[in-house]
């Protein structure tokens, strides 16, 4: 009897091992769950920042909202997980978040060895330096021997090493985990230089005690294409996120914005606009979402230009010109693939 009981327990335990992770696609998970889990930064003004009431806003946040609008029809069905540079990839790899929209640079190692897929570039950036005005430094080439505050595990850390090595200069790195700690150390004078992506430099500068006492050096020492990230092995979800970004760009290219989208939905003549807003074709259904996916995106979040102007444009405290982020028609790099 005791033997039979033991065998029974063993069989029960053994059957547990057969139940492996079912690997259902993220799209189905999201639809079942009713909201998207979006990984964002811990406070990067302009890209993902909570306001005084805890509502998240920013360019990266808008992308997550657009995906929610496309998949679930409601841009507010998003839950945000603030992540440091150290945790962001493990959170995505482990399934804790569905999409990582956190000013993450697209590199080969991340695309391959980390098991991630980059669903496009929503901001073309480069690495820059911030120094106090009183140091009288005019160029990054004068920074030999400086102490540099940097965040851990970022391309910033590696590019910094490369740049100083290439220019035969020495530096002393001071490496923190959270962006706030890096900035605080720079503000107290622990280091001479603060470095991260140019856009984040502008954003974090607004958080300093005296923003006007600091100057951004002219050099941009690297390419930092920032974009949303999803996991390997989930092609359908990858397509959804990718084409959400393209829909926002295509909408701006063809003059569809949140103000005129209703009018255009009622009676648009341009076949491109008709396809975009779901009046013709089955674009949404091919993606696995409703045919009004792009309409919801533009109506609730806006097109790329609107999102840019609202969060990081020249009228915001960040004052970032479109530059490389203008549409290809206007001399920039943002190019949407045809939605047809």
Partner 1 sequence: MSRDPVERPPLPSVWQSPRVRALAFQGLALALLLGFGAFIVGNTVANLSKQGIASGFGFMGTTAGFGISMSLIEYAEEHSYFRVFIVGLLNTLLVSAIGIVLATLLGFVLGIMRLSPNWLVAKVAAVYVEVVRNLPLLLQIFFWYFGILRQLPGPRQSVALFDSVFLNNRGLFTPEPVPEPGFAAIPGALLVAVVVSLGLARWARRRRDRTGQPFHTVYVALGLLIGLPMLAAAAAGFPLRWEYPALEGFNFVGGMELIPELVALVVALSTYTAAFIGEIVRAGILGVNRGQIEAAQAVGLRRGPMLRLVVLPQALRIIIPPLTSQYLNLTKNSSLAAAIAYPDLVLVFAGTVLMQTGQAVEIICITMAVYLTLSLTISLFMNWYNRGIALVER
Packing angle between helix 198-205 and helix 179-188, nearest 10 degrees?
60
77 binds partner 1 (CB under 8 A): no
Residue given tokens 């622990």 in the structure block: 190
Q: How many CB atoms lie within 10 A of CB 288?
A: 16
**CB of 194 closer than 8 Å to CB of 129:** yes
Nearest approach, Cβ of residue 309 and partner 1 (Å): 33
End-to-end alpha-carbon separation of the chain, Å? 68
**CB of 75 closer than 8 Å to CB of 60:** no
Distance separating alpha carbons of residues 324 and 93, to the nearest angstrom: 30
102 binds partner 1 (CB under 8 A): no
Window 119-138: contact mask with partner 1 (x via CB under 8 A): ----------------x---
114 binds partner 1 (CB under 8 A): yes
With CA atoms as reference, report the closest residue to 282 among 267, 294, 298, 270. 294
157 binds partner 1 (CB under 8 A): yes
Residue number, 146 or 248, with CB nearest to partner 1: 146
Residue given tokens 């805890």 in the structure block: 54
- Interacting stretch for partner 1, rule CB under 8 A, among 62-70, 108-116, 196-204, 271-279? 108-116
3-class DSSP state of 271: helix
- Interacting stretch for partner 1, rule CB under 8 A, among 63-71, 150-158, 239-247, 310-318? 150-158
Near partner 1 in 244-283, by CB under 8 A: none
3 binds partner 1 (CB under 8 A): no
With CA atoms as reference, report the closest residue to 307 among 263, 262, 265, 244. 244
91 binds partner 1 (CB under 8 A): no
Q: Is 6 exposed, middle or buried (0-12, 13-18, 19+ CB in 10 A)?
A: exposed
- Interacting stretch for partner 1, rule CB under 8 A, among 43-51, 87-95, 97-105, 285-293? 87-95
Helix (H) or strand (E) holding 111: helix 108-112
Window 207-236: contact mask with partner 1 (x via CB under 8 A): ------------------------xxx---
Window 296-325: contact mask with partner 1 (x via CB under 8 A): ------------------------------
Give the total of residues touching partner 1 (CB under 8 A): 47
**CB of 174 closer than 8 Å to CB of 148:** yes
Contacting residue, 33, 79, 110, 274, with partner 1 by CB under 8 A: 110
Contacting residue, 34, 168, 188, 212, with partner 1 by CB under 8 A: 188
Residue number, 182 or 289, with CB nearest to partner 1: 182
81 binds partner 1 (CB under 8 A): no
Q: How many CB atoms lie within 10 A of CB 205?
A: 20
Which phi and psi (to 5°) does residue 289 adopt? -125, 175
192 binds partner 1 (CB under 8 A): yes
Chain residues binding partner 1 by CB under 8 A are 17, 20-21, 85-86, 89-90, 93, 109-110, 112-115, 135, 143-147, 152-154, 157-158, 160-162, 164-165, 171-177, 181, 184-185, 188-190, 192, 231-233
């Amino acid at each position: 009897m005791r033997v039979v009981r033991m065998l029974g327990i063993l069989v029960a335990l053994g059957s547990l091992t057969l139940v492996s992770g079912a690997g259902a696609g993220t799209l189905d998970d999201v639809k079942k769950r009713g909201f998207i889990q979006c990984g964002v930064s811990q406070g990067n003004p302009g890209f993902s920042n909570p306001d005084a009431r805890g509502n998240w806003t920013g360019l990266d946040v808008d992308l997550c909202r657009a995906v929610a609008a496309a998949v679930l029809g409601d841009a507010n069905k998003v839950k945000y997980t603030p992540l440091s540079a150290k945790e962001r990839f493990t959170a995505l790899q482990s399934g804790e978040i569905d999409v990582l929209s956190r000013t993450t640079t697209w590199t080969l190692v991340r695309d391959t060895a980390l098991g991630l897929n980059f669903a496009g570039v929503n901001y073309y950036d480069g690495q820059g330096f911030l120094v106090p005005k009183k140091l009288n430094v005019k160029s990054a080439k004068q920074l030999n021997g400086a102490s540099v505050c940097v965040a851990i595990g970022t391309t910033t850390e590696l590019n910094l090493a490369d740049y100083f090595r290439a220019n035969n200069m020495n530096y002393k790195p001071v490496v923190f985990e959270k962006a706030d700690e890096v900035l605080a150390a720079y503000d107290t004078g622990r280091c001479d230089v603060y470095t991260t992506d140019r856009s984040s430099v502008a954003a974090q500068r607004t958080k300093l005690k005296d923003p006007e006492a600091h100057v951004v050096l002219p050099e941009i020492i690297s390419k930092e294409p920032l974009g949303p990230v999803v996991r390997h092995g989930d092609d359908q979800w990858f397509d959804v996120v990718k084409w959400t970004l393209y829909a926002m760009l295509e909408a701006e290219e063809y003059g569809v914005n949140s103000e005129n989208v209703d009018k255009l939905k009622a009676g648009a003549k341009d076949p491109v606009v008709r396809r975009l807003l779901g009046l013709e074709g089955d674009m949404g259904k091919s993606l696995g979402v409703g045919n009004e996916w792009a309409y919801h995106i533009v109506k609730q979040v806006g097109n790329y230009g609107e999102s840019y102007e609202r969060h990081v444009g020249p009228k915001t405290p960040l004052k970032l010109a479109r530059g490389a982020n203008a549409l290809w028609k206007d001399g920039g790099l943002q190019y949407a693939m045809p939605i047809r």
